[in-house]
């Protein structure tokens, strides 16, 4: 009897669920290979995302996984927090690929994105022994709950980017947080149905906005996605009008 294939077909809804994990999770289990024994090691790390959604993390050279990645770049990251009841009933995703240190030219953008999620990391982010790493995804195993298993490709996980939007992101985020907190609050409450609070804009990309409130992170997807940086301002205005109109 042929073995039953437990994997389900991947569609756009599944891709969006997986990409939401990449955009909203604040920590994950990083698995590396011990350089001496080859034994798999897992350690919790704080997570943010690059503009295309790839996981990025900040680690110290004093940690075991830093040395492991220097010797062998193969790694995986498990994302997803168990809730009440059976922990296996809750969605989770394991992204596997190769880890690489963030290039100096990209460090400012990654630093800004990371601190937007983890403001307390500003105490040590610039220490000489710390460095940002990016997990370059090869694929992922996504489990949306019982009977919902998917095998995802790199293309399923990553979002398109626009270098012009990346270049203006920090300024746009600062402007929104300085001058349009009321609109951000409406994005969270009127468009996402979240409770009110001090919501701020953490970062943005062609596919949506990441909002933060303390330890809470929420994703507002653009429908449809932007095709270029030039569409950002009109879309933000449009979303604010939609939120205000109810």
pLDDT attached to residue 219:
98
Q: Average of pLDDT values for 116-141?
A: 96
pLDDT attached to residue 84:
81
Measuring CA to CA, how many Å separate 4 from each of 7, 84, 153? 9, 30, 21
Cα 141 to the center of its chain, rounded Å: 16
| Residue of 168, 183, 174 whose CA lies nearest to 220 | 183
pLDDT attached to residue 3:
52
* Average pLDDT in the chain: 94
Query: Is pLDDT larger for residue 175 or for residue 6?
Result: 175
Residue 26 near residue 119, CB atoms below 8 Å: no
pLDDT band at 168 (very low <50, low <70, confident <90, very high): very high
Q: Answer whether 12-157 and 163-245 agree in fold.
A: no
Burial class (CB in 10 A: 0-12, 13-18, 19+), 122: exposed
> Which pTM does this prediction carry?
0.93
Domain ranges of the chain: 12-157, 163-245
pLDDT attached to residue 4:
57
CA atoms of 97 and 78, how far apart (whole Å): 12
pLDDT attached to residue 158:
98
CA atoms of 138 and 157, how far apart (whole Å): 9
Domain 163-245: give its CATH architecture. Answer: Alpha-Beta Barrel (3.20)
CB neighbourhood size of 219 (10 A): 17
What is the three-state SS of 114-183? HHHHCHHHHHCCCCCCEEEEEEEEEEEEEECCCCCEEEEEHHHHCCCCCHHHHHHHHHHHHHHHHHCHHH
CB neighbourhood size of 83 (10 A): 10
At the topology level of CATH, where does 12-157 sit? Pnp Oxidase; Chain A (2.30.110)
Tens-place pLDDT, residues 31-61: 999 988 989 999 999 999 999 999 999 999 9
| Residue of 73, 133, 124 whose CA lies nearest to 103 | 133
Tens-place pLDDT, residues 222-242: 999 999 999 999 999 999 999
DSSP string, 50-64: -TTS-EEEEEETTSH
Q: Average of pLDDT values for 167-193?
A: 97
Tens-place pLDDT, residues 133-165: 999 999 999 998 778 899 999 999 999 999 999
pLDDT band at 109 (very low <50, low <70, confident <90, very high): very high
Query: Given a cut of 90, is residue 88 above it in pLDDT?
Result: no
CB neighbour list of residue 117: distance below 8 Å, 6 or more residues apart: 26, 46, 47, 48, 202, 212, 217
pLDDT attached to residue 105:
84
pLDDT band at 90 (very low <50, low <70, confident <90, very high): confident
């Amino acid at each position: 009897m042929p073995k039953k294939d437990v994997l389900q077909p991947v569609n756009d809804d599944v891709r969006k669920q997986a990409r939401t994990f990449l955009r909203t999770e604040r920590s994950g289990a990083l698995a590396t290979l011990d350089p001496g024994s080859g034994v798999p090691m897992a350690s919790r790390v704080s997570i943010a995302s690059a503009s295309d959604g790839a996981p990025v993390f900040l680690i110290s050279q004093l940690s075991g996984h830093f040395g492991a990645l220097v010797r062998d770049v193969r790694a995986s990251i498990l994302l997803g927090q168990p809730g009440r009841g059976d922990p296996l009933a809750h969605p989770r995703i394991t992204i596997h690929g190769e880890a690489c240190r963030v290039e100096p030219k990209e460090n400012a953008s990654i630093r800004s994105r990371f601190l937007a999620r983890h403001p307390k990391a500003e105490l040590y982010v610039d220490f000489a022994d710390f460095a940002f790493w990016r997990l370059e995804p090869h694929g992922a195993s996504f489990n949306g709950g019982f009977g919902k298993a998917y095998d995802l490709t790199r293309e399923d996980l990553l979002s398109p980017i626009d270098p012009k939007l990346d270049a203006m992101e920090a300024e746009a985020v600062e402007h929104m947080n300085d001058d349009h907190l009321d609109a951000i609050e409406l994005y969270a409450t009127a468009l996402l149905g979240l409770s009110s609070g001090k919501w701020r804009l953490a970062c943005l990309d062609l596919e949506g906005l990441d909002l933060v409130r303390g330890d809470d992170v929420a994703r507002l997807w653009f429908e449809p996605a932007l095709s270029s940086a030039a569409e950002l301002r009109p879309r933000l205005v449009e979303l604010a009008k939609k939120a205000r109109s109810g």
